[in-house]
Amino acid sequence: QLQLQESGPGLVKPSETLSLTCTVSGGSISSSSYYWGWIRQPPGKGLEWIGSIYYSGSSWYKPSLKSRVTISVDTSKNQFSLNLNSVTAADTAVYFCASSRRDSGYDFWGRGTLVTVSS
């Protein structure tokens, strides 16, 4: 079964760019069956969908974040990545990467990584 693991800095300064990578094992990121997503959860709050990408590079973003977000895929490394620029304290959250089948829920998740935005 798929395993996903987030990696990246745990501390980002305000106005800078948050960059995270999700490494997929146990399967190919180029599988036509799967979509790859990022979800975040501010401390003590609920889940927020950030966006998704398909192995072809097609991507979809939450409109309120679209101007600041880029999700990309590297099939050679079996990874996909999240870049969120111009961060503020409101972007402090646990960031999860996850996999889903088309129009279905997220069946495999990474453990999540806490990113704190602070100077």
Instruction: State which H helix or E strand residue 31 sits in.
Output: none
The stretch near another protein (CB under 8 A) out of 8-16, 25-33, 55-63, 70-78 is 55-63
Give the residue, chosen from 30, 60, 68, 78, that forms a contact with another protein under the rule CB under 8 A. Answer: 60
Closest CA to 41 of 90, 108, 101: 90
11 counts as binding another protein under rule CB under 8 A: no
The stretch near another protein (CB under 8 A) out of 14-22, 25-33, 41-49, 72-80 is 41-49
By 3-state DSSP, what share of the chain in percent is helix, strand and coil, each rounded to 5?
Answer: 5, 50, 45
Residue 76 CB neighbours (<10 A)? 8
21 counts as binding another protein under rule CB under 8 A: no
Q: Which two tokens stand for residue 37?
A: 């997503």
The stretch near another protein (CB under 8 A) out of 11-19, 21-29, 72-80, 104-112 is 104-112
10 counts as binding another protein under rule CB under 8 A: no
Q: Nearest 5°: phi and psi at 91?
A: -90, 0
Site for another protein, rule CB under 8 A:
46-49, 52, 60-63, 96, 98, 100, 103-112
